[in-house]
Amino acid sequence: MSILNSIDVAAKYIREGKLVAFPTETVYGLGANALDPMAVAKIFELKERPSFDPLIVHIASIHQLQDLVLNTDERVHKLTEKFWPGPLTMVLPKSNIVPDIVTSGLPTVGIRMPSNEIALDLIRISDCPIAAPSANKFGRISPTTAAHVRKQIPNVDYIIEGGKTTVGIESTIIKLTDKGFQILRNGIITQEELETVVPFDGETAIEKLSAPGMLKSHYSPRKKLLIADSSSLDLDKSKAGLISFSGEVENGFCKVIRVSDRKDLKDYAVNMFEAMHSFEDDNEIELIIAEPVCETGVGRAIMDRLRKAEFNWRQA
Ligand code: TXA
Ligand code: MG
């Protein structure tokens, strides 16, 4: 009798049309066979995600890309060569085999090849592309550990334990135009890095680009979160948790999570969602304060996530 390891079990579930939460290098995904519309429908149901918000399809080989999209020009090859496997999603014209439910009826599909070995093995052994959004309830904090998935989506068919993710925020999403690439969502792969391969088409502001599901509120903790430079804060810190980057003004807070000892923005990205989860779960904390950073390089992706996490609370 053969004993199946967890990836084999998970792959069997995927083939049977069930849902599997699995680690990627960015955040945990809630995956289903991308070519099975009934399985994909369960993702929307379990995540309580509106049907207008399209899913990213995860692949493990360039061969799979060719099946899923209509054509790939030279720029796509250059980008995949440099950034795949890795946290870059490309939105490309879809082929007929991609069900409409995956793309919310759009003629394009978002595709990426993750670099996490468990994710790649899962896709290979399942022998199909895997559609997967982040494995959180719609609008809530993204999961960077299996425990975060269990907290929000306990009733998923299977969760693969893969430790803490190494990037910590979702992939950069781009689309190609005649002039170059546009960024639909900022991530750890920055505009500057992408520009070394393809020109940046920055004529339209990111807020004006059409990426369904890019709402003003997202990544939202259940407790009030404010972006604030803690030195200028005029409020009771005794029940507040500080997500600290500079490490400079930490006095008076109930708890402090320092996201980087070496003041590296990549560490902020890696630890930001985990810090939000930790304060959300902490009975002593009523308010979360997140320290802002400069909006250059990875700072753009960090401030994007923080603003969306803050949005509903600013209105309140
Ligand atoms: O790192 C990631 O990208 C993670 C991991 C699991 O791979 N996935 C992720 O998926 O962040 P999700 O569903 O949370 O975000 C996907 C977003 C959608 O909200 C939408 O804005 C954009 O990708 N997207 C997907 N397909 C698109 C399309 N055809 N056109 C424009 N935007 C698209
Ligand atoms: Mg998400």
Residue ranges per domain, the chain?
2-194, 224-315
Arithmetic mean of pLDDT, 72-101: 97
pLDDT band for position 232 (cuts 50, 70, 90)? low
203 vs 280 pLDDT, higher one: 280
- Give the pLDDT confidence score for residue 230 in this predicted structure: 65
What pLDDT sits at residue 5?
72
User: 136 near 47, Cβ under 8 Å?
Assistant: yes
Q: Mean pLDDT across the chain, nearest whole number?
A: 94
How far is the CA of 11 from the CAs of 155, 157, 165, 276, in angstroms? 18, 12, 20, 31
Contact 279, 223 (CB under 8 A): yes
Tell me the mean pLDDT in the region 189-214. 88
Question: To test ligand 1's pocket by mutation, which of 56, 122, 142 has the most ligand atoms within 8 angstroms of CB?
Answer: 56
Residue 32 near residue 43, CB atoms below 8 Å: yes
Domain 224-315: assigned CATH number: 3.40.50.11030
Instruction: Tell how strand 172-176 and strand 181-185 pair up.
Output: antiparallel
Look at residue 62 and tell me whether its pLDDT is greater than 60: yes
Residue in the block written with tokens 């600290």: 244
| CA dihedral over 87, 92, 97, 98, signed as positive or negative | positive
Q: C-alpha angle with apex 211: 268 to 177, nearest 5 degrees?
A: 105
Closest CA to 162 of 22, 18, 19, 14: 22
pLDDT of residue 208: 79
Per-residue pLDDT band for 1 (boundaries 50, 70, 90) equals: very low
The atom number, within ligand 1, closest to the CA of 171 reads 1
pLDDT digit string (tens) for 155-172? 999 999 999 999 999 999
Instruction: Specify the CATH number of the domain 2-194.
Output: 3.90.870.10
Ligand 1 contact, 27 CB (< 6 A): yes
Give distance in angstroms: CA of 293 to centre of ligand 1. 24
For 248-293, the pLDDT digits (tens) are 878 889 999 999 999 999 999 999 999 999 999 999 999 999 999 9
Please tell me the pTM assigned to this model.
0.96
